[in-house]
C-alpha cells in the first residue's frame, strides 16, 4: 500500500519553506493557515506517509536540521526555560536527523554522548540516578540550570539511542522504560506494560506511538519484552489481518493515511497497515 502520493503529503510538501523547514521547529502555540504545523510535526507525518532520506523534501529538511545543529542557522522557537536550551535543541535536532539518516557526524557525536551517559547509569545492573547526574554534567559539559536535567525517558533520548547502547545495557534500559510509571514523555504518559483498556480508541493510537518507537530496538531480549504486545494485537484483530482503532484515532499525524475516512473500509485498511508494519518489526 502506498501513501506517499496522498493529498496529505502533497499539502505538507507544498508549504515547506525554501530553507527546508516548516517554520517553528518544536512548539507552535497559535497555528495559522500559513503556519499550520511545526517542522517536527511535518517530518513525523511525512515519515508515517512513507517518506525517507531518498525523497527531496526530507533531504532539504535534514540539511536544514544539520545547519541548525552546526550553528549555521537557528530554529525560530522561543527558548524554553525548563532545561538548558543548547542541550535540548541539540538533542531534538540530532534525533530527527538520525531518524532519517545515520550519516551525520555531529548527530552521531551527540547520540554517543547520551549513550555513554546511559551506559554508565546502568553499569551495575540497575539505574543509578546519582551516576546519571554526574555523567550528565561531565559529558554534556554543562551543569543543569537550577538542578534540572532532561529526563532520558522521553521521545528524544529513547529514539536517539536506538541500537547504539552497550549490548549488556540495552535490555536493562529497555525494561526500565517499559516499567516507567509515566511512560515515554511526548508520546504516552502511563506505564507501558499496561495496554489501553479500550482498543478502538484515541488512547491506543497514542500508545502505539511509544510501542513503535521501542520496536526500533533490535536486540533479541528487547523484542522478547514486547511479546505481550503481539498477543494483545492478535486478541484485538477483527478479521484476518484486520484491525480498527475507530474514528477517534484520526489525529492528523498517524491517521488518516488514505485520502478520506468516509468509508469504513479505508479506516480499517489504514489501521491494519500500521499494525501489520508494527508486528513485522516485533518478529
Asked whether residue 267 is domain-assigned, the answer is yes
Same domain, 209 and 279: yes
- Per-residue pLDDT at 158 exceeds 90: yes
Q: Taking each helix axis from N to C terminus, what angle separates 56-69 and 85-100, rounded to the nearest 10 degrees?
A: 150
- Per-residue pLDDT at 145 exceeds 60: no
Task: Report the pLDDT value the prediction gives residue 177, as an integer from 0 to 100.
Answer: 98
Of the candidates 164, 246, 257, 159, the one whose C-alpha atom is nearest the C-alpha of residue 209 is 159
Asked whether residue 107 is domain-assigned, the answer is yes
- Per-residue pLDDT at 32 exceeds 60: yes
Same domain, 115 and 72: no
H-state helical runs in 78-180: 85-100, 105-121, 129-140, 155-160, 170-178
Task: Report the pLDDT value the prediction gives residue 29, as an integer from 0 to 100.
Answer: 63
Same domain, 45 and 116: no
Asked whether residue 201 is domain-assigned, the answer is yes
The residue out of 185, 209, 229 marking a domain boundary is 185
Average pLDDT, the chain: 94
The residue out of 159, 185, 211 marking a domain boundary is 185
The residue assigned the cell 543543569 is: 144
For 162, the grid coordinates are 536506538
Asked whether residue 12 is domain-assigned, the answer is yes
- Please give the share of the chain, as a percent, with pLDDT higher than 70: 96
Asked whether residue 93 is domain-assigned, the answer is no
Task: Report the pLDDT value the prediction gives residue 91, as an integer from 0 to 100.
Answer: 97
The whole domain housing 13 covers: 1-78
Task: Report the pLDDT value the prediction gives residue 143, as an integer from 0 to 100.
Answer: 64
Helix (H, G, I), strand (E, B) or coil at 226: coil
pLDDT digits (tens, 9 = 90+) for 72-130: 999 999 887 766 889 999 999 999 999 999 999 999 999 999 999 999 999 999 999 99
Average pLDDT in the 191-200 region?
97
d(CA 93, CA 129): 25
The residue out of 185, 212, 231 marking a domain boundary is 185
Decide: 205 and 251 in contact? Cβ < 8 Å.
Answer: yes
Average pLDDT in the 239-265 region?
97
Same domain, 174 and 224: no
For 66, the grid coordinates are 544539520
For 273, the grid coordinates are 497497515
What is the per-residue burial (b if ≥16 Cβ within 10 Å, else e) of 130-169?
ebbbebbeeebeeeeeeeebbebebbbbbbbbbebbeeeb
DSSP 229: H
Task: Report the pLDDT value the prediction gives residue 2, as an integer from 0 to 100.
Answer: 79
Task: Report the pLDDT value the prediction gives residue 162, as an integer from 0 to 100.
Answer: 97
pLDDT tier, 147 (very low <50, low <70, confident <90, very high otherwise)? low
Backbone angles phi, psi at 167, to 5 degrees: -60, -25
Higher pLDDT, 78 or 244: 244
pLDDT tier, 144 (very low <50, low <70, confident <90, very high otherwise)? low
What is the per-residue burial (b if ≥16 Cβ within 10 Å, else e) of 191-215?
ebeebbeebbbbbbbbbbbbbbbbb
Asked whether residue 88 is domain-assigned, the answer is no
Asked whether residue 130 is domain-assigned, the answer is yes
Task: Report the pLDDT value the prediction gives residue 27, as an integer from 0 to 100.
Answer: 81
Same domain, 2 and 42: yes
- Per-residue pLDDT at 180 exceeds 60: yes
Asked whether residue 190 is domain-assigned, the answer is no
Return the half-sphere exposure (C-beta side, CA atoms, 13 A cut-off) of residue 243. 24
Same domain, 243 and 272: yes
- Per-residue pLDDT at 1 exceeds 80: no
DSSP 5: T
Q: How many domains does the chain contain in total?
A: 3
Among 8-12, 16-20, 141-145, 182-186, where is mean pLDDT lowest?
141-145
Amino acid at each position: 500500500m502506498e501513501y506517499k502520493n496522498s493529498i496529505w503529503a502533497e499539502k505538507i510538501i507544498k508549504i515547506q519553506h525554501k530553507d527546508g523547514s516548516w517554520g517553528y521547529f518544536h512548539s507552535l502555540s497559535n497555528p495559522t493557515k500559513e503556519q499550520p504545523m511545526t517542522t517536527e510535526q511535518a517530518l513525523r507525518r511525512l515519515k508515517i506517509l512513507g517518506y525517507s532520506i531518498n525523497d527531496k523534501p526530507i533531504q532539504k529538511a535534514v540539511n536544514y536540521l544539520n545547519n541548525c545543529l552546526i550553528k549555521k542557522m537557528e530554529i525560530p522557537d522561543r527558548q524554553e526555560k525548563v532545561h538548558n536550551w543548547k542541550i535540548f535543541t541539540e538533542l531534538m535536532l540530532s534525533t530527527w536527523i538520525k531518524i532519517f539518516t545515520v550519516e551525520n557526524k555531529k548527530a552521531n557525536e551527540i547520540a554517543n554522548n547520551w549513550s555513554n551517559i546511559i551506559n554508565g547509569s546502568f553499569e551495575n545492573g540497575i539505574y543509578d540516578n546519582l551516576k546519571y547526574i554526574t555523567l550528565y554534567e561531565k559529558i554534556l559539559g554543562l551543569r543543569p540550570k537550577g538542578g534540572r536535567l532532561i529526563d532520558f525517558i522521553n521521545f528524544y533520548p529513547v529514539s536517539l539511542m536506538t541500537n547504539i547502547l552497550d549490548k549488556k545495557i540495552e535490555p536493562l534500559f529497555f525494561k526500565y522504560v517499559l516499567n516507567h510509571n509515566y511512560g515515554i514523555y511526548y508520546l504516552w504518559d502511563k506505564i507501558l506494560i499496561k495496554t489501553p483498556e479500550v482498543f478502538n480508541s484515541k488512547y491506543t493510537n497514542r500508545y502505539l506511538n511509544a510501542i513503535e518507537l521501542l520496536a526500533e530496538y533490535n536486540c533479541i531480549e528487547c523484542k522478547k519484552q514486547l511479546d505481550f504486545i503481539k498477543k494483545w494485537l492478535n486478541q484485538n484483530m477483527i478479521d484476518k489481518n484486520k484491525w480498527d482503532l475507530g474514528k477517534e484515532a484520526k489525529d492528523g499525524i498517524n491517521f488518516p493515511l488514505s485520502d478520506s475516512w468516509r468509508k469504513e473500509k479505508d479506516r480499517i485498511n489504514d489501521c491494519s497497515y500500521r499494525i501489520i508494519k508494527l508486528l513485522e518489526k516485533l518478529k
